[in-house]
Amino acid sequence: MQKTIYLDNATTTTLDAEVLEVMRPYFFEWYGSPTHEYGHTFGLKAREALERSREAVASSIEASPEEVIFTSGGTESNNLAIKGLTLASEDRRHLITSKIEHASVLNVIKSLERVGFRAGYLNVDREGFIDLEQLKNEINEETLLVSVQHANQEIGTIQSVKEIGKICEEKGVLFHVDAVQSFTKVPIDVREMNIDLLSVSAHKIHGPKGIGALYVKEGTKLKPLIEGGYHEFGLRSGTENIAGAVGFAKAIEIVNKSQMEHMRGLRDYLMKGLLEIPDSKLNGPRGDKRLCNNVNVTFRFVEGESVLLHLDMRGIIVTTGSACFSKTLEPSHVILALGLKHEDAHGSVRFSLSKYNTLEEMDFTVENVKDVVGQLRVISPVGRR
Amino acid sequence: MYSPKLLELFKNPKNVGEMPDADVKVTEGSLACGDMITIFLKISKETKIIGDIKFLSYGCAANIATTSMMTEMVKGKTLEEAKKLTFKEIAEEIEGLPPVKMHCAVLSIDGLRSAIRKYEEERGLVKVPELDESFVRSRLRHIINPKLGRDVVSTGVVENIRVYDGKVEIDLNLSEADEFKNYVVEEIHERFDKLPNIKELKFNFEGE
């Protein structure tokens, strides 16, 4: 069988075998639902595992365990953070975000706009960094929240979250960070960065799908979206996903610096190889302000879905910002926000790496991308020489 | 999921390439939309039979495969026969297209019909149509509602059309929040902006 080279790790990752091992007992042995401190053995076992996992998540972002709410993942965390705040707010009706957020932030804010909230969308520069001056000007006495991602899902730009946090603190507005892409790849200290709410997810870091968390700074007024039996401090009801939480904690535990260095090396190697292809250009920044596992390149005169499917036939899994590949038939809003043209989005291909990728895989990828892009350019009506 | 036949044509398209001695050449679609095709035709002056057809494509797998299929289906046909080919027949021949990709088959038909129209206009065989409601409606029938895979007129997305002094106003049964609103508006602009007899295009949305 053909070998698969999986380069779509910003979408989701494989489970680490070690993670599955620690989850297993909570499916077959200790499958009880966690109870309070005076419950039965099954309940206590589950409670203990859940709280241990909560501590692991909390300490990874320098938070207290009581400030961590388990959710079903990044999308739910973003929804809970933003909608939960607006439900609890009596007077402030203005929200600020950036133009390059994930859909689970942008679509939540757009939907709140339709029920009377006002929103400001911050511009980004050519590399995807938000305009801090615009942020300062945009905040007014009506502003409830600033929601800005830590790192971008498509082009890997890492925002200066500490600076944004400082501005929010000075102006007295709440600050939510979608850290789904950066979590464990870039250090996060919610106190030092003055973050009030922060979303993370397990399946991007070789943990299981279906579990994530929201950090809610002590004292932040939030209303639940899912009500019921008062689970998760009354902020997210429903029987807890114990196996998921245990797996999430394990996934965090096995991350180490050398994995990041490994990915960064592969990233720069792959980037260099791909940019040797004529009429190609990098989207997003270079160096330390780019996620260690993200490469995004536009190949002019070709359309991304065709590149993606040809690569798929050769066992290489990537994704694209092309309109043809999106559910709404619209090109990537991130690429457009950089001030680039529609066709720059259609020709953009994202390669996102994991700790499991190898240098040989990068060579194979570069060779095949060269071949596929060349083949598609032969039949393209544009860019003909 | 794409059909195996579509994937095979995507991988190995037929009739692809340039034709330096073509009798007519047209380009449909645009880079901005993400799908664009160029069609070359060789037509017999006497019999009006399409002797040869070639295409170039900037687009997705469905674009490449449906255009390839179209070229196979009209090669050796007369212009009158070729004009009757529909996007549905292409979609059937290629063993199905997802609704969201149906516009690719439409683009291949549009490319073919534009090429034929250009050939006929250049040789004085037809006259340019007048701008009125039925003309606008007929052009809108070439735009696909991605939710259903059928055109925006028959699926009720287009409500009313008003044409006056070169201005076209279209009421769309779409809310501002509709996931395909931007796509439909762009597509309509794409078809109408380049027509010489249209000065202005205006849209009204549901709930306005």
Q: What is the DSSP string of A253-313?
A: HT--HHHHHHHHHHHHHHHHHHHTSTTEEE-S--GGGB-TTEEEEEETTS-HHHHHHHHHH
The answer as to whether A385 is a domain residue is no
- Predicted local confidence at residue A90, as pLDDT: 86
Task: Tell me the average pLDDT across A186-202.
Answer: 98
The answer as to whether A203 is a domain residue is yes
The answer as to whether A297 is a domain residue is yes
Residues of B with CB below 8 A from A381's CB? Answer: 27, 36-38, 56-58
Smallest CA-to-CA distance from A34 within A241, A209, A211 is with A241
Cα–Cα distances in angstroms (integers) from residue A202 to residues A63, A194, A249, A348, in the given order: 17, 23, 9, 27
- Predicted local confidence at residue A139, as pLDDT: 98
By Cβ distance, the residue of B16, B56, B61 closest to A305 is B61
- Predicted local confidence at residue B208, as pLDDT: 67
- The answer to whether the Cβ–Cβ distance between A327 and B61 falls below 8 Å is no
Backbone torsions φ then ψ of A379, nearest 5 degrees: -100, 5
Q: Which residue of B has its CA nearest to A320?
A: B60
Token reading at A222: 């939030």
One domain, residues A131 and A274: no
Residues of B with CB below 8 A from A111's CB? Answer: 177
Tokens 């720069």 belong to which residue? A268
Point out the domain boundary residue: A205, A223, A253: A253
- Predicted local confidence at residue A36, as pLDDT: 73
Beta strand B158-164 with B150-151 is unpaired
Q: Which residues contact A170 (CB under 8 A, 6 or more apart)?
A: none
What is the rounded distance in angstroms from the CA atom of residue A104 to the CA atom of residue A247? Answer: 24
A313 reaches B (C-beta below 8 A)? yes
- From A111's Cα to the closest Cα of chain B, the distance in A is 8
Higher pLDDT, residue A324 or A294: A294
Task: Tell me the average pLDDT across A86-107.
Answer: 96
Higher pLDDT, residue A328 or A85: A85
Smallest CA-to-CA distance from A271 within A166, A349, A210 is with A349
Calculate the dihedral angle through the C-alpha atoms of A34, A40, A42, A44, rounding to the nearest 10 degrees: 50
**CATH 3.30.300.130, domain B133-205, yes or no:** yes
Task: Tell me the average pLDDT across A249-266.
Answer: 98
Point out the domain boundary residue: A192, A224, A253: A253
Asked if A233 contacts A34 with a C-beta cutoff of 8 angstroms, the reply is no
- From A323's Cα to the closest Cα of chain B, the distance in A is 7
pLDDT in tens, A210-238: 999 999 999 999 999 999 988 999 999 99
Q: Which residues contact A61 (CB under 8 A, 6 or more apart)?
A: A179, A183, A188, A189, A190, A198, A200, A215
Structural domain range at position A323: 5-12+256-378
One domain, residues A133 and A243: yes
pLDDT in tens, A138-175: 999 999 999 999 999 999 999 999 999 999 999 999 99
The answer as to whether A193 is a domain residue is yes
Residues of A with CB below 8 A from B16's CB? Answer: 379
- The answer to whether the Cβ–Cβ distance between B34 and A381 falls below 8 Å is no
One domain, residues A267 and A157: no
- Predicted local confidence at residue B194, as pLDDT: 67
Q: Which residue type occupies A348? A: S
The DSSP bridge partners found for residue B204 are B171
Backbone torsions φ then ψ of A352, nearest 5 degrees: -120, 130
Point out the domain boundary residue: A225, A253, A281: A253
Whether A379 has a pLDDT exceeding 90, the answer reads yes
The answer as to whether A330 is a domain residue is yes
> How far apart, in Å, do the first and last CA atoms of chain B sit?
37
What is the rounded distance in angstroms from the CA atom of residue B182 to the CA atom of residue A132? Answer: 29
Burial class (CB in 10 A: 0-12, 13-18, 19+), B93: middle
Cα–Cα distances in angstroms (integers) from residue A62 to residues A82, A111, A147, A252, B16, in the given order: 22, 32, 20, 13, 59
Whether B64 has a pLDDT exceeding 70, the answer reads yes
What is the rounded distance in angstroms from the CA atom of residue A213 to the CA atom of residue A291? Answer: 21
Q: What is the pTM of this model?
A: 0.90
pLDDT in tens, A313-325: 999 999 999 988 8
A110 reaches B (C-beta below 8 A)? yes
Pick the residue of A379, A380, A384, A385 with the most B CBs within 10 A to test the interface with B by mutation: A379
Q: Which residues contact B2 (CB under 8 A, 6 or more apart)?
A: B10, B61, B62, B65, B98
One domain, residues A186 and A326: no
Report the alpha-carbon angle A97-A99-A100, nearest 5: 105
Give me the number of domains chain A comprises.
Answer: 2
- Predicted local confidence at residue A385, as pLDDT: 58
Which CATH number do you get for residue A54? Answer: 3.40.640.10
Whether B196 has a pLDDT exceeding 80, the answer reads no
Which CATH number do you get for residue A364? Answer: 3.90.1150.10
CATH number assigned to the domain with residue range B4-122, chosen from the 4 options 3.30.1600.10, 3.30.70.980, 3.90.1010.10, 3.40.630.30: 3.90.1010.10
Residues of B with CB below 8 A from A300's CB? Answer: none
- The answer to whether the Cβ–Cβ distance between B180 and A329 falls below 8 Å is yes
Backbone torsions φ then ψ of B156, nearest 5 degrees: 80, 10
Whether B187 has a pLDDT exceeding 90, the answer reads no
Interface of A with B in 344-383 (CB under 8 A): 346, 379-382
- The answer to whether the Cβ–Cβ distance between A379 and B16 falls below 8 Å is yes
| A168 part of the active site | no
pLDDT in tens, A12-68: 999 999 999 999 999 999 999 997 777 889 999 999 999 999 999 999 999 999 999
The answer as to whether A100 is a domain residue is yes
Backbone torsions φ then ψ of B56, nearest 5 degrees: -125, 150
Q: Which residues contact B8 (CB under 8 A, 6 or more apart)?
A: none
- Predicted local confidence at residue A383, as pLDDT: 79
One domain, residues A153 and A130: yes
Pick the residue of A107, A312, A322, A329 with the most B CBs within 10 A to test the interface with B by mutation: A329
- Predicted local confidence at residue B189, as pLDDT: 86
The answer as to whether A384 is a domain residue is no
A324 reaches B (C-beta below 8 A)? yes
- The answer to whether the Cβ–Cβ distance between A324 and B60 falls below 8 Å is yes
**For residue A14, what is the DSSP state?**
P
Q: Which residue of A has its CA nearest to B38?
A: A381
One domain, residues A208 and A284: no
Higher pLDDT, residue A108 or A3: A108
Instruction: List, in sequence order, every beta strand (DSSP E) within chain A.
Output: 5-6, 68-71, 94-98, 118-122, 143-149, 174-178, 197-201, 212-216, 280-282, 294-299, 316-317, 319-320, 348-352
- Predicted local confidence at residue A21, as pLDDT: 98
One domain, residues A143 and A176: yes
| Domain range summary for chain B, segments of one domain joined by + | 4-122, 133-205
Task: Tell me the average pLDDT across B103-114.
Answer: 94
- Average pLDDT in chain A: 96
Q: Which residue of A has its CA nearest to B187?
A: A329
Whether A187 has a pLDDT exceeding 60, the answer reads yes
Grade residue B203 by pLDDT with cuts at 50, 70 and 90.
very high
- The answer to whether the Cβ–Cβ distance between A313 and B177 falls below 8 Å is no
What is the rounded distance in angstroms from the CA atom of residue A248 to the CA atom of residue B129? Answer: 65
Asked if A342 contacts A364 with a C-beta cutoff of 8 angstroms, the reply is no
Grade residue B182 by pLDDT with cuts at 50, 70 and 90.
confident
Residues of B with CB below 8 A from A342's CB? Answer: 31-34
Whether A185 has a pLDDT exceeding 70, the answer reads yes
The DSSP bridge partners found for residue A71 are A212
Whether A380 has a pLDDT exceeding 70, the answer reads yes
| B60 part of the active site | no
Positive or negative CA dihedral for A15, A214, A134, A323? positive
Instruction: List, in sequence order, every beta strand (DSSP E) within A123-277.
Output: 143-149, 174-178, 197-201, 212-216
- Interface predicted TM-score (ipTM) of this complex, two decimals: 0.86
One domain, residues A301 and A315: yes
By Cβ distance, the residue of B16, B38, B182 closest to A330 is B182
One domain, residues A103 and A214: yes
Pick the residue of B31, B147, B183 with the most A CBs within 10 A to test the interface with A by mutation: B31
The answer as to whether A349 is a domain residue is yes
Long-range Cβ pairs for the range A224-233 (8 Å, 24+):
A224/A80, A224/A84, A225/A76, A225/A79, A225/A80, A225/A83, A225/A84, A225/A87, A232/A69, A232/A70, A233/A66, A233/A69
One domain, residues A88 and A28: yes
- Predicted local confidence at residue A1, as pLDDT: 55
Q: Which residues contact A224 (CB under 8 A, 6 or more apart)?
A: A80, A84, A234, A235, A236, A237
Residues of A with CB below 8 A from B62's CB? Answer: 324
Catalytic residue among A87, A88, A309, A324: A324
One domain, residues A205 and A324: no
Residues of B with CB below 8 A from A330's CB? Answer: 182-183
Report the alpha-carbon angle A70-A220-A128, nearest 5: 75
One domain, residues A235 and A262: no
Task: Tell me the average pLDDT across B31-43.
Answer: 90
